[in-house]
Structure 1
Amino acid sequence: MNNSIVTVFGGSGFIGRHLVRRLVAEGAVVRVAVRDTEAAQYLKTMGDVGQVVPLAADITDTESTRAAVAGADAVVNLVGRLAANKKAFQKLHVDGARNVAAVAREAGVRHLAHVSALGADLGSPSDYARTKAEGEAAVREEFPAAVILRPSVVIGPEDFFFNLFAGLARFTVAMPVFGCPAIPRLRFFEDGALLRIDLFGHGGSRFQPVYVGDVADAIQSALAGGSDTDGQIFELGGPNVYSAKQIMELLLTHTGRRRILFPAPFWYLSTVAWFIQMLPWPLFSVDMVRFMRSGNVVSDGAKTMADLGVAATPADAVLPGYLARFRIPREQHLHST
C-alpha cells in the first residue's frame, strides 16, 4: 500500500482507527471520510503531516462521496449501525453501500473492501441482518470485484459488548445468559443424581468474537491481495466459539467478579428490548434479539482470516488488558503484582 491513496468511509470508528493506523504504517495516504471531521482529527497524529486527511462525506450523498473517492487507489466502507429503524438500515446498509460501490467503479478505483456482518442473510427476520445482505448484493452488482468481509462480534479496548456488560456487572448481582430455553430441562438419574435441573440448555446464543486488530489486518490484506481476493467473501471470527453462558463466565473471570447468571430466553429479551428501544439512545432493540437468534459463528466451508494470512487472536489474550479497569480495587492491585 506504499504511496497509495486509500479512502476509508467511517474511518473514525472502532474498526476504522485500527485500520488507519495499519495503512499509515504501510506508507499509504489515508482519507478518513466521515460526516463529522472534528471527530476524526485525532487520527492525524498517526501519520506524518498530510498523511491522514479527514474529509466531510456522507455515503448517501453522491457528490460528497465522489469528492472523497476521486483519485483513490482503494476504498473501504466501514459504515454501519447495529441499532436503528428499518428506514435507517436501508439508507446506510443498502443505498449508501450501493452509492459507494457505484462511485468507486466510476472513478476507476482498483480495490474496494466492503465490511458487512457475520449473519447477513436475505431471509433473516432481523432488519439489520437482511439489509446487510441486501447491501452486499448491491455492492457486488455495482463493483463485482469488491471484497466483502463479514466480522463476528468485534472485541477490543473500545468495543460495545464487553465494555457494556462489564460496566453492568459493577451495579447488579445477576447477569443474563442470552437465548436460553424458556422451560428448564429436567434430567433424571444422570451423574449419580436423582434429578438435575438444567436452566441453561445448550448455553444460549453462540458467538465467535474476533479481535479488532485482526479485522483491520484482514481488511488490509484483502486490499493488497489483488486478483486473489477480488470478488471474494471472507467470514471473520476468532479461534474459539462461545455460548452466551461461556461469554458471561469469561467476562466475570477477567473482571474478578462473582455474579448470579440467569437464563434469558428470547421472549424475555424481546419484552425487555421493546421497552429499552423507546429510550432516546437505546442500547438494545427487538431487532437485535431477532439477530441473536441465529447465532454468530463462521459458516462451514467459508473463506476465513486464515485465507488472508491473518492468525486469529484468542479472546483470552486481549480481554485482560482492557477489562482490568472494571476489576474491584483489591483485585486490580493483586492483578498488577
Structure 2
Amino acid sequence: MVAVLGGGGFVGRELVGRLVALGHVVRVGSRNPEGDQALARFPGDGRVEFIKASVNDAASLERVFASADVGINLVSIMSPDVRAMHRVNVEGARLAALMARRQGVEQYLHMSAIGASLTSPGNYGRSKGLAERAVREVFPEAALLRPSVIFGPQDSFFNMFALIAKLSPVLPVFAPETLFQPVYVGDVARAIIALVEPGYEGMTVEAGGPDVLNMKELMAFVLEASGRRRILLPVPGWVAKLEAGILEALPGHLLTRDQVAMMGVDNVVQPGMADLQALGIRPAAMRSIVPDYLRGSVCESWRRFRK
C-alpha cells in the first residue's frame, strides 16, 4: 500500500501510473478526488483508491496513511500569498509526516526542490527549506527529493514559454545567465520509487537532467523545439519585478515577484550531493522528449499548460 498526497498533480500522475504498473495498491489523497478519477484507468496489476484529504487536516491524513507501508507527499504551492504558502508547504509538510509516523508508515518521502534553503532569496525557497527541517524533525528517516525544473508533456515551464512564443513576436528572457538543469518527469517518478525502497532512509537526492543551460539558452531551445522564430528579449531585473507585481495579482499568477527572486539563483545539482546516478538512473535529455509536445497548436499548448 502506497499512500500519495497530491497524486493528481503533474508528478503525481506519472508516479501513480508507474506504481499501478508495478502492481501496487495506491491510495491517492487530494482535495479533489472526483477530478482524479482518470488515475483509476492506468493499466497494470495494481489499483487506485481515492480519499478526500488536505495536508492541513489531521483526520483526513490519518485516513490516507492508515495501513500504508509507504507515504509520499508531493503537495506544495507557489503563491504570492506568503501565509498560504507557509500553511501548505511548511505546516502541511510537518503534519503529513507526523500523521504518517503515527500511522506506522515504514518508508516516507517528501518532495522538495533544488534551492530549498532557510537563506533562499525567495519565500518559496525558504518555505521548502523550512519544510525539509520540519519533516526531518518528526520523521528523521524520511527521504528528500529535490528536483530542478521538471519537464514533460503537461509541464508548466516549457509549455508556458512555447505558448508565449506562439502568441507574441518576442520571447522574454528573465535572468538570462541563471543556470537550470531540467529533469524529465518520468525520471523524477523513478527516483521517488527508488527512494522509498528499504536502504535509502534519510537520503537526500538532487535530481537534474544531463543538460545544464542558462535561461537564454533554454528560451532558444524552446523556439527550436516548437519550430518558431522569435526575438529573444532579455528583461532587466527591475522590469521583471515590475511586471511580476502586476501579473501576480491576475488569475493564474503567471509570474510573481517571488519567482523573479528565485530566478536569480542557479537551479542545478550542487557539487557533492547525491544525484539520479546514485539511484542507478540515467536521466533523459530534453531534446529526446520536449520537441514532441511543443509543436502543437495554441489551444493544445494552453490545455497542457493549464493541467
Which TM-score bucket, shorter chain as reference? over 0.9
Aligned twin of 1:314 = 285
Label 1:88 to 1:209 Cα distance change in 2 as closer, same or farther (>3 A).
same
Aligned twin of 1:217 = 190
User: d(CA) in 2 for partners of 1:322 and 1:106?
Assistant: 43
Aligned twin of 1:208 = 181
**Does the 8 Å contact 1:9/1:79 carry over to 2?**
yes
**Does the 8 Å contact 1:9/1:77 carry over to 2?**
yes
Q: Which amino acid aligns with 2:210?
A: P
CA deviation profile, 1:98-143 (whole Å, cap 9, x unmatched): 0111111111111001001110010112110000000000000000
**Does the 8 Å contact 2:20/2:46 carry over to 1?**
no
Aligned twin of 2:99 = 103
Q: Which amino acid aligns with 2:188?
A: V
Q: Which runs of 4+ in 1 moved over 2 A?
A: 47-50
CA deviation profile, 1:283-331 (whole Å, cap 9, x unmatched): 110011111111211101100111111111001111111112149xxxx
Aligned twin of 2:165 = 169
Following TM superposition, by how much is the alpha carbon of 1:47 offset from its aligned partner in structure 2, in angstroms?
Answer: 4.5
Q: How does 1:1-337 map to 2 (within 5 A)?
A: 5-47=1-43, 51-180=47-176, 204-224=177-197, 226-227=198-199, 229-326=200-297
TM-score normalised over the length of structure 1: 0.86
User: d(CA) in 1 for partners of 2:43 and 2:96?
Assistant: 25
CA deviation profile, 1:39-58 (whole Å, cap 9, x unmatched): 11000001569810111010
User: d(CA) in 1 for partners of 2:9 and 2:80?
Assistant: 17
The unaligned stretches of length 5 or more in structure 2 are 299-307
Label 1:49 to 1:310 Cα distance change in 2 as closer, same or farther (>3 A).
closer
**Does the 8 Å contact 1:83/1:283 carry over to 2?**
no
Following TM superposition, by how much is the alpha carbon of 1:83 offset from its aligned partner in structure 2, in angstroms?
Answer: 2.9
SS at match of 1:170: helix
User: d(CA) in 2 for partners of 1:95 and 1:277?
Assistant: 23
Q: Which amino acid aligns with 1:129?
A: G
User: d(CA) in 2 for partners of 1:173 and 1:295?
Assistant: 28
User: d(CA) in 2 for partners of 1:85 and 1:127?
Assistant: 10
**Does the 8 Å contact 2:23/2:45 carry over to 1?**
no
User: d(CA) in 2 for partners of 1:50 and 1:63?
Assistant: 26
User: d(CA) in 2 for partners of 1:12 and 1:218?
Assistant: 18
User: d(CA) in 1 for partners of 2:44 and 2:228?
Assistant: 43
**Does the 8 Å contact 2:241/2:257 carry over to 1?**
yes
User: d(CA) in 2 for partners of 1:280 and 1:257?
Assistant: 28
**Does the 8 Å contact 1:255/1:326 carry over to 2?**
no
Q: Which amino acid aligns with 1:88?
A: A
Q: Which amino acid aligns with 1:248?
A: M
TM-score normalised over the length of structure 2: 0.94
Following TM superposition, by how much is the alpha carbon of 1:84 offset from its aligned partner in structure 2, in angstroms?
Answer: 3.8
Q: CA RMSD in A?
A: 1.3
Label 1:271 to 1:161 Cα distance change in 2 as closer, same or farther (>3 A).
same
User: d(CA) in 1 for partners of 2:173 and 2:69?
Assistant: 45
SS at match of 1:257: coil
**Does the 8 Å contact 1:166/1:326 carry over to 2?**
no
The unaligned stretches of length 5 or more in structure 1 are 181-203, 328-337
Q: Which amino acid aligns with 2:36?
A: A
May I ask how many residue pairs the two structures share in their alignment? 298
